[in-house]
Amino acid sequence: MKILVTGGLGFIGSHTVVALQKKGYEVVIVDNLSNSSLKVLDGITLITSKTPHFEKLDLRDKLEVNSFFKKHNDINGVIHFAASKAVGESVENPLLYYENNLASLAYLLQNLVQLKEQNIIFSSSCTVYGEADELPISEEAPVKKAMSPYGNTKQIGEEIIIDSCAAHQHLKAISLRYFNPIGAHPTAHIGELPLGTPQNLVPFITQTAIGKRKELSVFGDDYPTEDGTCIRDYIHVMDLAEAHVVALERIMHSKDNASFEVFNVGTGIGSSVLEVIQAFENASHEKLNYKIVDRRAGDVIAAFADTQKANEVLGWKAQRSLEQALKDAWEWEKTQVNT
């Protein structure tokens, strides 16, 4: 089975390539290296003893995408990670986000529907739920007006796929709505590589602990939660990677499912920012320098997943703890000292 992984050198993509290769799949990666490095291929090779086929390709280049699919017309499934993902940048440059996240998706689908096997897993996000009315958040929760162009690209991306499934009888898709992916492969050969100052909590924590940042700012302690800080569902990136393999197997092998399905991918456990800091200190035996500052604009108070559908229908459940994820993130950070 030959699987195309777009954005396969990125954070979640590279871990998913490892999970696919461990299960014997032949992987083809395309990536334009806009937010990743070729060194990631070495990490994947070290872990799996196999180097995936890699082609540098920008999915915004329609003609290049067409010629890629002419060469690789025997692909059995696609996992589509390639996208830009910085919420703040998307507010400043929305058109970049609409082009990179949506034009690329259209080109990919135009080619996919020409293939014999038309299976796609789409990277969506819990951001589509906004501030949900009920917790935990199930797939039935309404999609709220997006708070950023980035979030809007995930909502529109799902709609593009729904419309395409309705029009193309053989197209099958699963949209995975990730909660907060963190951590790294336990070997520390691959991990998260944020460009510049990290926007996300866990890379900011590990960079502070290693001394690259002076201190972590905790954005607000006056939220209506037990300790006043926001609550999220942090999922180990290897658990998330394995969810992709299971989802892909579902659409490749089953005949009677709806052509488009959505699954939340989280642990079902909500952790506050202060709880994450405490868990990091326990896992790393490091003391973290942090201070409480004002709230960050656009943050929802609390988001964690109802995982029942993924548990029962996909037969998948997150296995790794928050502390394990933070320990793996820390081991990875220590390999990045001179970078």
Per-position x/- string for 310-339, each x denoting binding to ligand WQD as judged by CB under 6 A, each - no binding: ------------------------------
For ligand WQD, which residue of 93, 219, 278, 336 counts as binding (CB under 6 A)? 219
Q: Minimum CB separation from ligand NAD for residue 299, in Å?
A: 14
| Residue whose token pair is 């009677």 | 256
| Host H or E run for residue 245 | helix 237-253
Contact between 152 and ligand WQD by CB under 6 A: the answer reads no
Q: Minimum CB separation from ligand WQD for residue 154, in Å?
A: 7
User: Which residue is closest to ligand NAD by CB?
Assistant: 10
For ligand WQD, which residue of 102, 230, 283, 325 counts as binding (CB under 6 A)? 230
**Phi and psi for 191 in degrees, rounded to 5?**
-170, -160
Contact residues for ligand NAD (CB under 6 A)? 7, 9-13, 30-36, 57-60, 81-85, 100, 104, 123, 125, 178, 181
Active site residue 150: yes
Pairing between β-strand 271-272 and β-strand 231-232 as defined by DSSP bridges: antiparallel
Among candidate residues 25, 97, 150, 223, the one labeled active-site is: 150
* Residue 161 contacts residue 109 (beta carbons within 8 Å): yes
| Host H or E run for residue 242 | helix 237-253
Contact between 221 and ligand WQD by CB under 6 A: the answer reads no
State how far the Cα of 36 lies from the Cα of 16, in Å rounded to an integer.
15
Q: Which residues contact residue 255 at a Cβ distance below 8 angstroms, ignoring those fewer than 6 apart?
A: none
72: DSSP letter: -
| Residue whose token pair is 């920008």 | 58
**Phi and psi for 127 in degrees, rounded to 5?**
-60, -20
Q: Which among ligand NAD, ligand WQD, none contacts residue 58 (Cβ within 5 to 8 A by kind)?
A: ligand NAD
Please report, as a single letter, which amino acid is at residue 53: H
Contact between 200 and ligand WQD by CB under 6 A: the answer reads yes
Structural tokens at position 35: 């937010």
Contact between 125 and ligand WQD by CB under 6 A: the answer reads yes
| Catalytically annotated residues | 150
Contact positions toward ligand WQD, by CB under 6 A? 85, 87, 125, 127, 180, 199-201, 204, 216-219, 230, 232, 273, 296, 299
